Chains A and B, each alone.
Chain A
Amino acid sequence: MRYAMAVDTKKCVGCSDCVVACQTENNVPIGYCRDWVVEVMDGTYPILEMEIRSERCNHCGNAPCVRCCPTGASHFTDGGIVLVKPSKCIGCGACIASCPYDARYPHPDGYVDKCTFCLHRIRNGLKPACAAVCPTKCIYFGDLDDPNSEVSVVLKKRKSKTLIPEAGTVPQLYFLI
């Protein structure tokens, strides 16, 4: 099993619904977030290109946060999801420093927090909150090892990219381009 997510940059309108849904679903403290929206404008007027991306933890195959964590609080779980176990986390910040995507933040309660791909929802057969609420349905989620999952199908059909794969992280958050 290898969970992955694909975000369609052609369909995403940058409404930030995914951000609010995540904050509500996961009780993210005010002022913090586990996912965010980036709008990239490229080119010179009048030839401009825009890309909108809903970003979050990449649940890397070779996660530097898991490698750097001194206590094993950051760990891999079902389908390669990277999780933090608060009762093991000492809040040293090593994982925050090690993440090239800045996907982690120090929770006001002390431990480090991040996107979980809504593991509690997946286990109940639901989609992650961000994918479930997306009004343009641009977030696809599923198991890469299952050729019929929606993420496998869409990745087969469309061209995609990942963010800074050259950092050696083997990211599992795909962007359809």
Chain B
Amino acid sequence: MKEEIIVSGRMNSMVDPHLHIWHWQIPLYLFLGGLAAGILFFAALYFINGKEKEYPTAVRLAPFITPFLLILGLLALFIDLRHKAFFWQLYTNIKLQSPMSWGAWTLMVITPVSFIWCALHIRDLFPKWDWKYEWLKSIETFFNLNKKALAWVMLIYSVILGIYTGILLSAFNARPLWNTSILGPLFLASGLSAGAASILILTRLPEERKLFARIDLIIIGIELFLIIHMFMGFLASTQVQIEAARMFLGGPYTMSFWIFVVIIGMIFPAILEIMELRKFHIPAILPALLILFGSIMLRFIFVYAGQVSRWLY
């Protein structure tokens, strides 16, 4: 038996819950960022493939929510900062080894790109839109001429945004649960599936609905594979990672993770979408909302559980 008594002072979140590092802001941001990345990815992908006419919701309509998602996410990040007046320090430094620095700079690129993409399609929402100033019009013309280049930038940066939300956590080797390189691809997949789900909510075209229901099905398959793969990796790893996996395999996070994320957020909507593709009448919004719910729960559970997992000494 080994017993550890903290005689004085030891401060960590197990002893003092107020030292809990990250609260709701971070998982919320990770979700919003991942969702925005998913939507922008599909918009850029189908624009580059010249499918703008076939899938107008994905290319033109859905991106309209991304500036709001990104701004809300940035706001959540800002609320999380404890030394708020110094936030600009993020943009006077480039730290290649810090995923958070990468994220800050990625947001610096993708947020304006999402605004420009929406501006180019603003007449879909407001047909009589007028930019009023000549210089704004010339900017619009410039980006319309270089729309393909813009789409490529959007495609690449949306992948970086989606994958960095996972890498942000996996870079912390002090938290064994986060310290797995599967987390990057898993969060990217989850963001893409959330993006496809929100396109499903917005679209009215049966062809587009079919395509994104299929995409969602494939991504859910990938996510399930990555989750199983991740736990196999944990169980075959060091004691600290075995302990981390046990939090989800019988430990305190078992019920919430497997029920909310895997069953309600992945398997159930997958079954509904298979039924829909087989011509059963399913309201399209139902599986999409479940996927979004699963995606947000995945972030919350991983961010909270990760802070509990630690090295033993």
Contacts and interface: CB of A to CB of B under 8 A. Distances in A.
Interface stretch (B36-44, B88-96, B208-216): B88-96
B19 A105 contact: yes
B172 interface: yes
Nearest to B310: A100
A98 interface: yes
Interface stretch (B9-17, B150-158, B197-205): B9-17
Interface in A140-171: 163-164, 166-168
A97 B98 contact: no
Given A40-B3, A70-B104, A55 B174 contact: no
Given A69-B95, A100-B311, A37 B82 contact: no
Nearest to B77: A92
Contacts of B83: 86, 89-91, 109-111
Contacts, number: 155
Interface residues of A, number: 51
Nearest to B5: A39
Interface stretch (A3-11, A28-36, A121-129): A28-36
B313 A164 contact: yes
Q: Which of B9, B82, B172 has the most CB of A within 10 A?
A: B9
B233 to A, nearest CB: 17
A37 B4 CA distance: 11
Interface string A79-109: 0000000111111111011111010011001
- Give chain B's interface secondary structure class: loop
B98 A96 contact: no
Interface residues of B, number: 46
A1 interface: no
Q: Which of B11, B22, B82, B95 has the most CB of A within 10 A?
A: B82
B53 interface: no
A111 B82 contact: yes
A44 interface: yes
A61 interface: no
Contact of B7 (A38, A90, A106, A168): A38
A147 to B, nearest CB: 29
Given A36-B6, A37-B8, A96-B21, A91 B174 contact: no
Contacts of B12: 102
B281 interface: no
A94 B10 CA distance: 19
B131 interface: no
A90 B81 contact: yes
A73 B100 contact: no
Contact of A71 (B4, B90, B174): B90
B140 interface: no
Q: Which of B6, B8, B13 has the most CB of A within 10 A?
A: B8
Contacts of B311: 100, 164, 167
A111 B4 CA distance: 30
A98 B97 CA distance: 13
A112 B13 CA distance: 15
B1 A68 contact: no
B239 to A, nearest CB: 10
Interface in B278-313: 307, 310-311, 313
Contacts of B98: 67-70, 94
Given A36-B10, A69-B98, 15 more contacts: A16-B8, A33-B11, A38-B7, A39-B6, A40-B3, A41-B4, A42-B3, A64-B172, A67-B98, A69-B95, A72-B93, A92-B81, A98-B171, A105-B19, A110-B82
Interface of B: 1-13, 19, 21-22, 80-87, 89-90, 92-93, 95, 97-101, 103-104, 171-175, 238, 307, 310-311, 313
Interface of A: 14, 16, 19, 32-33, 35-44, 52, 55, 64, 67-73, 86-94, 96-100, 102, 105-106, 109-112, 163-164, 166-168
A-B CB proximity, top 6 nearest: A91-B82, A91-B83, A36-B9, A110-B83, A33-B9, A102-B12
17 contacts: A36-B8, A37-B8, A40-B5, A67-B171, A70-B100, A70-B104, A71-B101, A72-B93, A92-B80, A93-B21, A93-B80, A110-B83, A110-B84, A111-B82, A112-B82, A164-B313, A167-B174
